[in-house]
Chains A and B, each alone.
Chain A
Amino acid sequence: MISTNNLTYKYQGGVDILFPNIICEEKDILLILGTSGVGKTTLLHLLGGILTIQKGSVNIAGTEINKLSDAGLDTFRGQNIGIIFQQNHFVDALTVLENVVLAQSLAGKKADKKAAKQLLDRLNIGHKSDKNIKDLSQGEKQRVAIARALINQPKLILADEPTSALDDINCQEVLNLLHEQAKAAGSALVVVTHDTRLKDKIANRVILQTL
């Protein structure tokens, strides 16, 4: 579903970071582990089409995203990639449900409030649908972020440090939830983290190291 080939990135005035090739099939889960500063977020942004690929290639569901135009990449990202950030941002002016529906609209899909509500229900946050997003706790917000990443049934779900702020019990719970939902949506799930607790829980993993 997603694979990379010789992905290299160089920040201005920095050295080349060469990332190991990764591969993750649909309904699978891949863990990318690494300590701070090894380029985890850079890799995530490269995979997510947020950062322009300089060298190498990223193939998502048969599309080489490094070959897409800027506008093409925006559309592709909206339709095929769901991203859960460590710190999740929302459109503050909108309600919980509207934030999820917005992801549908911006991806160029039909706004389907019913589907959005069902997804929120599945994530046990449906009762807060009409609340303003600002009134939710961090844990609740993370569930909304997961719903938003899943709503378009993307080919790829990227999660950036989804568990690092959580205690052991919640860490396990969120991981299960993510995996479950990714499977249900038929997506490949890539988790990028420095949280070593996840190491034993996910077999398929890549470890990033400084060169």
Chain B
Amino acid sequence: MSILQLAWRNIIKNPLNLLMSIILFGLGVGLISFLLLFNSQLKEKFDKNLAEIDLVVGAKGSPLQMILCSMYHIDNPTGNIPIKKAAPLLKDLHPLIKKAIPLSLGDNFKSFRIVGTNHDLVDLYNGKLNDGALWTKDFEVTIGRSVADDTGLKVGDKFVSSHGFNEDDDMSHDHSSFMVAGILEGTGSVLDQLILTNTATIWLVHEHEEAGVEEEAGQTHEGHDHSDHSHDNSNADLLNHPEQEITSVLIQYKSRTNFQALNFGRNINENSDMQAASPAIEINRLYNMIGVGTDALRSLAILIAIVSALSIFISLFKSMRERKYELALIRVLGAGQVKVFALIILEGLILALIGFVIGTILSHIGMELVAKHLKADFRYSFTGWKWLAEEWIVFGVALVLGFVAALIPAIQAAKTDINKTLSEK
């Protein structure tokens, strides 16, 4: 019968007394660890998807919405921009721009977005082919890892898209049949949940729709013969269609510190009917908005943790007083002051440990539930089954709280005058 066993038996002797402390402690730990899990994964997603994009140019509207739409693919576009307006950005020889990647949105397959773009987007997120090839012709697509996993699409498979960003059978473009040319490796970025094709394909799908004619893809349309003409993926090709529209352009500067680059976005905003926004700034704005909420939650969690430590202190103190004869007896039976001190400290630590385990389980289950929800809504993969290094810190803090809560009762117990206690009748 070790001191540890004795401490454990004392704890389970009267579980109801301790339920309150443990639940409170678990709640505090759970909330803190949930916030850690959520924030870290959110930040990771956002940061990974920043992908060194310096500027996003699109239709006027909410800059945050444009960023969320063009880079994170979780909001609707602010509108489209005509290529002739965006042409200066897309020209190869722009002095400031290293890369300009056009994006065209408008369709989805099983709520995975179909994005008309060029191969630079794949490079941007360090995407690598897992199977097949990158798209080359109209209506050929290369799909991200999550798309392949969730839809079961394989190279060579055909599918029909739906209009908009949510799956809706009534909005299917029955006529536009896409063909999977390749599947990318998982990157952990937004690339995983995209269906990539060339920009022209998006136009074709929507031309058919606007014309209200059900045509097979590849048929002659407005004198533009698609069957023997494939759009290549270059920006130069886009410039041949100044009347067409794209959703936005992702821009990487040649040099971020260039003075002109710093003013580049402002120039667009002031002198054109397009808008430019810096992802870093907008995402920081978003963090700050979310931050108010998470700060409040964190304060609440810390408050709960402190109250629970106080409640552990009170229950240990009370139980120590009730057990003062027991403790004196343990001394008589040969336990030194150190052992009695250790006994009460162990009880505090065990309570904290149970609370930590309960809280951790709660937070991970909670995170997994939220992850399911987020996945259904935004196609973003979060997970509850991930252990963060910070959780070890929470573990350490929990044990320290348990120790501190037990300290005064333990000192009192160790200092108990056994002669006096046992002389009381």
A residues with CB within 8 A of B? 41, 45, 48, 50-51, 70-71, 74-75, 77-79, 83, 85-87, 89-94, 98, 101-108, 111, 148
Indicate if B290 sits at the interface (CB-CB under 8 A): no
User: Across the interface, do A102 and B326 meet the contact criterion of CB distance under 8 Å?
Assistant: no
Question: When chains A and B are docked, how far (Å) is the Cα of A78 from the Cα of B335?
Answer: 7
Report whether B326 and A106 are in contact in the complex, using a CB–CB cutoff of 8 Å. Answer: no
A91–B329 touching, CB < 8 Å: yes
Within the complex, what minimum Cβ distance (angstroms) separates B64 from chain A?
59
Q: Say yes or no: is B6 at the interface (Cβ < 8 Å to chain A).
A: yes
Q: Which has the most chain B C-beta neighbours within 10 Å: A75, A90, A92? A: A92
Nearest A residue (CB) for B329 = A89
State how many angstroms separate the Cβ of A174 from the closest Cβ of chain B.
20
Contact B1 A50 (CB under 8 A): no
In the complex, how many angstroms separate the beta carbon of B114 from the nearest chain A beta carbon? Answer: 66
The interface bits of chain B over 330-349 (1 if a CB of A lies within 8 angstroms of the residue's CB, else 0) are 11111111110000000000
Question: Ordered nearest first, which 8 A-B pairs have the shortest CB separation?
Answer: A78-B334, A93-B13, A89-B325, A74-B336, A93-B9, A106-B333, A107-B334, A105-B1
Residue B151 interfacial (CB < 8 Å):
no
List chain B residues, Cβ under 8 A from A105: 1-2
Closest Cβ of chain B to A48, distance in Å, is 7
11 A-B residue pairings within 8 Å (CB atoms): A45-B422, A74-B336, A89-B325, A91-B326, A91-B329, A98-B9, A103-B334, A106-B339, A107-B333, A107-B334, A108-B334
Least distance between A195 CB and chain B CB atoms (Å): 16
Q: Which of A50, A78, A111 contacts B422 (CB 8 A)?
A: A50
* Residues in A whose Cβ lies below 8 Å from that of B339: 106
Kindly state the separation between the CA atoms of A50 and B423 in the bound complex, as whole angstroms.
Answer: 11
A75 to B323, CA, bound (A): 22
Contact of A77 among B2, B325, B328, B332 (CB under 8 A): B332
Evaluate contact between B418 and A106: CB separation under 8 angstroms: no
By a CB distance below 8 angstroms, the chain A residues around B335 are: 74, 78, 106
Q: How far is the CA of A75 from the CA of B326 in the complex (A)?
A: 18
Which residue from chain A places its CB closest to the CB of B333 in the assembled complex? A106
Q: Are B329 and A75 in contact (CB under 8 A)?
A: no
15 more contacts with CB within 8 A, not counting A83-B332, A91-B9, are A45-B423, A50-B332, A51-B419, A74-B336, A75-B334, A91-B330, A93-B13, A94-B1, A94-B6, A101-B1, A102-B1, A104-B1, A105-B1, A106-B339, A108-B334
Q: Beyond A70-B336, A92-B13, A93-B10, is A98–B1 a contact (Cβ under 8 Å)?
A: yes
B224 in the interface (beta carbon within 8 A): no
Q: Is the CB of A102 within 8 A of B333?
A: yes
Chain B residues with CB under 8 A of A111: 1
- The DSSP consensus for interface residues of chain B is helix
A70 to B336, CA, bound (A): 8
Number of interface residues of B (CB under 8 A): 27
CB neighbours of A91 from chain B (8 A): 6, 9-10, 326, 329-330
Expressed in whole angstroms, the Cα–Cα distance for A93 and B326 within the complex equals 10
- B341 CB to closest chain A CB (Å) equals 12
- Contact indicator per residue, chain B 394-425, by CB within 8 Å of chain A (1) or not (0): 00000000000000000000000011001101
Q: Which residues of A contact B330 (CB under 8 A)?
A: 91, 102, 106
**Cβ–Cβ < 8 Å partners of A74 in chain B:** 331, 334-337
- A71 surroundings in chain B (CB, below 8 A): 336-338
Which residues of the other chain, B, contact A85 by a CB distance below 8 angstroms? 422
A79 to B337, CA, bound (A): 16
Residue among A78, A83, A87, A101 having the largest count of chain B Cβ atoms under 10 Å: A78
Which B residues are in CB contact (< 8 Å) with A87? Answer: 425
What residues of A have a CB within 8 angstroms of the CB of B423 in the complex? 41, 45
Contacts of B13 on A, CB cut-off 8 Å?
92-93
A104 to B334: give the CA distance in the assembly, Å. Answer: 9
A27–B66 alpha-carbon span in the complex (Å): 95
Q: CB distance A106 to B9 under 8 Å?
A: no
Bound-state CA distance A158–B286 (Å) is 75
Please tell me if the beta carbons of A45 and B419 are within 8 angstroms of each other in the complex: yes
Chain B residues within 8 Å of A93, by CB: 6, 9-10, 12-13
In the bound complex, residues from chain A placing their C-beta under 8 Å from that of B336 are 70-71, 74-75
Interface residues of B in 300-354 (CB under 8 A from A): 323, 325-326, 328-339
A86–B418 Cα distance when bound, in Å, is: 15
* Per-residue contact bits, chain B 29-54, to A (CB 8 Å; 1 contact, 0 not): 00000000000000000000000000
| C-alpha gap A148/B333 in the complex (Å) | 9
Q: Is the CB of A103 within 8 A of B418?
A: no
List B2-37 residues whose CB lies under 8 Å from chain A. 2, 6, 9-10, 12-13
B residues less than 8 Å from A48 (CB atoms) = 332
Name the contact of A50 in the complex, choosing from B6, B323, B418 (C-beta under 8 A): B418
Residues from chain A with Cβ under 8 Å of B1 in the complex: 94, 98, 101-102, 104-105, 111
Scoring A79, A102, A148 by chain B CB atoms within 10 A of each residue's CB, the highest score goes to: A102
Q: Are B326 and A89 in contact, with the CB atoms below 8 A?
A: yes
Chain A, residue nearest B336 (CB): A74
Docked pose: A147 CA to B323 CA in angstroms: 22
CB distance from A147 to the nearest CB of B (A): 13
